[in-house]
Amino acid sequence: MTAKTLKYYVTGILALALAFFVFVVPFLFIIVNALKDKPEAALLHFSWPTETHLWENLVAVVEARDYMLITAFINSIILTVVAVTGLVVFGAMVGFVLQRRPSRWSGLINFMVLAGLIMPPAVVPTIWLLQWLGLFKTLSGLILIEIAYSLSFSVLLFRAFIATIPRELDEAAILEGAGPFTLFFRIVLPLLKPVAVTVIVVQSVAIFNDFTNPLYYLPGAKNATVQLTIFNFQSMFNTSYNLLFMNILIITIPPLIMFLFFNRQIVEGMTAGAVKG
């Protein structure tokens, strides 16, 4: 074995061991403790459970507080699906006109897009406004909020992608008699599929994982989203660590599935959005 191949294996094994220790062990810690019974999990040890309680803990977490997790999952799924649909359609419409037709509005819109990326939202005035609109503590209100806060990211990605679609296509469609509506929804939008997938995947993970906005704009146990269910099992004196970790495990599964199927799009989208931002 040459020195070079030796170095290859040593670096590789070292890197893998370190990555395992730093990044994988915390997840294994969640898994093993989600399988324990309450007293054993309370020890917080990183050890295989003496008895596994997978099904028991799963049922306990799902049933807790009158099936709150189920309601929360339904809420989170509605929130994510509707908000992401809005982000794709509205973002693509803006990106399309912004890229195709520079006008005196373009400067202002570009500025707004940047502001939307950088600026933290003003919380209490938003609550005041939502109350006035009758949207405070409603899922519809939160959906609109998520759209408003993530539009910038969506517009940036769509605009960049639309720049790669030849204008001749638009011209051909218009010569065929297509109006702007047909042009966009029937001809351009279907071509945006790759970037739309990216926006959908990145934003669904972000919105599904969002904690702050539901905390402010959708408070109350009745219409909780999944991120707020974690706190069900954490109390000052009597935390059920096994159920807490089981809950964390359950709500990690949707992003994990996204990651397994769309790893490439997620990484591309996040880097592209970042670099162009």
Smaller CB distance to another protein: residue 90 or 137? Answer: 90
Smaller CB distance to another protein: residue 164 or 263? Answer: 263
- 174: phi > 0 → left, psi -120 to 50 → alpha, else beta; which? alpha
CB of 199 to another protein, least distance (A): 13
CB of 28 to another protein, least distance (A): 10
CB of 271 to another protein, least distance (A): 5
CB of 168 to another protein, least distance (A): 9
Helices (H), the chain: 3-19, 25-34, 38-42, 54-100, 104-118, 123-133, 139-162, 167-175, 180-182, 189-191, 193-209, 212-217, 226-229, 241-276
CB of 210 to another protein, least distance (A): 9
The CB density around residue 112, as the number of other CB atoms within 10 Å, is 15
Smaller CB distance to another protein: residue 71 or 226? Answer: 226
Smaller CB distance to another protein: residue 67 or 211? Answer: 211
* Cα(19)–Cα(126) distance, integer angstroms: 42
Smaller CB distance to another protein: residue 174 or 197? Answer: 174
* Cα(58)–Cα(242) distance, integer angstroms: 10
